[in-house]
C-alpha cells in the first residue's frame, strides 16, 4: 500500500473514532472504522512467526500457552483491580468515568491497544455491553487478549441487533426496565464496563473484591456474584 493511501486511511479512521456515544441503545447501529492497518513491521513479524513455526524452531503449543496466560490470567486481573479500586474509592471512580486513560495510568495500565479508553458504569437501570462490530478491538492493558467468541461474527452482529438475546446466551436475563447500551470499540476508542458491586460484599477488602471481578463482567456479558466462581456450590 502506498503512503498516500495509508495516510488517507489514517486520517479517516481518526475522524470516525472520536464520538464517545453508545453505538446502540437496544438497536440503531452506527458505522465506525475499527482496526488500524497493520504496520509493515507487524506484517514482517507475522511472516517471521509463520516461518519459525513451519521450520519447527518455535513450538506452537508454547505460544498458545503464552497467549492463554495473557488471555485468562494476567490481562483480566488488571481490569479487576481497576474495578475494585473504583468500588472502594468514589473519587477514583469519578476519575475513571471522566478520564479513563489518566485513571488507568494511576494503576500503571496503558499502552498498546489501550491508548484511548472509556469506562462506562452499570447501574440498576443501565447495563452496558461492549462489542467490536467489525473486528476485534479490545482493551489489552486491562483485559489481555480477546476471547474467541468476542471475535466471532455472531457476537459482533447480534450484540447490536439483539443484545438481550446475546446476554441471555451468557445466562444473563435482564429485567425489561433495565436499558441495555451497546458500545462499539474501535481502534480509536476502547470501552470497559464498571460492573455493579455485588450485594453481600460490603465487608470485603479491595483485594477480595478484585478476586470477584470477571473478564466477562468487564465486557458486559456477565454480572458479579459475591461468591467467587471457584467456591460456588
Q: Which of 23, 104, 132, 189 binds Fe ion (CB under 5 A)?
A: 132
Could you tell me the smallest distance in angstroms from the CB atom of residue 117 to Fe ion?
14
Query: Is-catalytic flag, 25?
Result: no
Is 34 one of the binding residues for Fe ion (CB under 5 A)? yes
| Cell matching residue 227 | 461468591
- Choose the catalytic residue: 136, 159, 185, 217: 136
Identify the DSSP state of 71.
I
Could you tell me the smallest distance in angstroms from the CB atom of residue 158 to Fe ion?
16
Q: Which of 37, 88, 135, 211 binds Fe ion (CB under 5 A)?
A: 135
Is 37 one of the binding residues for Fe ion (CB under 5 A)? no
Q: Which of residues 77-116 bind Fe ion (CB under 5 A)?
A: none
- The β-bridge partners of 131 are 184
Where does this chain touch Fe ion (CB under 5 A) — which range of 27-35, 81-89, 161-169, 213-221? 27-35
Is 156 one of the binding residues for Fe ion (CB under 5 A)? no
- Closest to Fe ion by CB, 132 vs 224, is 132
Query: Is-catalytic flag, 159?
Result: no
Could you tell me the smallest distance in angstroms from the CB atom of residue 155 to Fe ion?
12
Is 137 one of the binding residues for Fe ion (CB under 5 A)? yes
Where does this chain touch Fe ion (CB under 5 A) — which range of 113-121, 124-132, 158-166, 204-212? 124-132
- Closest to Fe ion by CB, 23 vs 86, is 23
User: In this structure, how many other beta carbons lie within 10 angstroms of the beta carbon of residue 28?
Assistant: 10
Exposure letters 149-183 (e unless 16+ CB within 10 A, then b): ebeeeebbeebbeebbebbeebebeeeeeeebbbb
Which residues lie below 8 Å from residue 87, measured CB to CB, with a gap of 6+? Answer: 93, 197, 206, 209
Contact yes or no for 83/194 (Cβ under 8 A): yes
Alpha helices in the chain (DSSP H): 3-16, 40-54, 60-69, 75-88, 90-98, 100-106, 140-143, 148-151, 153-161, 163-169, 206-212, 215-219
Closest to 142 (Cα-Cα) out of 120, 121, 164, 111: 111
Where does this chain touch Fe ion (CB under 5 A) — which range of 29-37, 138-146, 189-197, 222-230? 29-37
Which residues lie below 8 Å from residue 63, measured CB to CB, with a gap of 6+? Answer: 49, 53
- Choose the catalytic residue: 25, 39, 135, 157: 135
- Closest to Fe ion by CB, 17 vs 76, is 17
* Contact positions vs Fe ion (CB under 5 A): 34, 132, 134-135, 137
Amino acid at each position: 500500500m502506498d503512503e498516500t493511501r495509508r495516510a488517507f486511511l489514517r486520517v479517516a479512521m481518526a475522524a470516525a473514532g472520536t464520538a464517545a456515544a453508545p453505538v446502540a441503545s437496544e438497536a440503531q447501529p452506527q458505522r465506525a472504522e475499527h482496526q488500524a492497518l497493520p504496520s509493515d513491521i507487524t506484517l514482517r513479524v507475522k511472516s517471521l512467526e509463520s516461518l519459525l513455526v513451519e521450520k519447527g524452531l518455535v513450538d506452537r503449543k508454547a505460544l498458545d500457552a503464552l497467549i492463554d496466560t495473557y488471555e485468562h490470567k494476567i490481562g483480566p486481573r488488571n481490569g479487576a483491580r481497576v474495578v475494585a479500586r473504583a468500588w472502594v474509592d468514589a473519587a477514583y471512580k469519578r476519575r475513571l468515568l471522566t478520564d479513563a486513560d489518566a485513571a488507568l495510568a494511576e494503576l500503571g495500565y496503558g499502552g498498546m491497544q489501550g491508548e484511548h479508553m472509556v469506562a462506562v458504569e452499570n447501574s440498576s437501570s443501565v447495563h452496558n455491553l461492549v462489542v467490536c462490530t467489525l473486528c476485534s478491538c479490545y482493551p489489552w492493558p486491562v483485559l489481555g487478549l480477546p476471547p474467541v467468541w468476542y471475535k466471532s461474527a455472531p457476537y459482533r452482529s447480534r450484540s447490536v441487533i439483539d443484545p438481550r438475546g446475546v446476554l441471555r446466551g451468557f445466562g444473563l436475563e435482564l429485567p425489561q426496565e433495565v436499558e441495555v447500551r451497546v458500545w462499539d470499540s474501535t481502534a480509536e476508542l476502547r470501552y470497559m464496563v464498571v460492573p455493579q458491586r455485588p450485594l453481600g460484599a460490603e465487608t470485603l477488602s479491595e483485594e477480595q473484591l478484585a478476586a470477584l471481578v470477571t473478564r466477562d463482567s468487564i465486557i458486559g456479558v456477565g454480572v458479579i456474584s459475591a461468591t467467587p466462581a471457584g467456591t460456588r456450590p
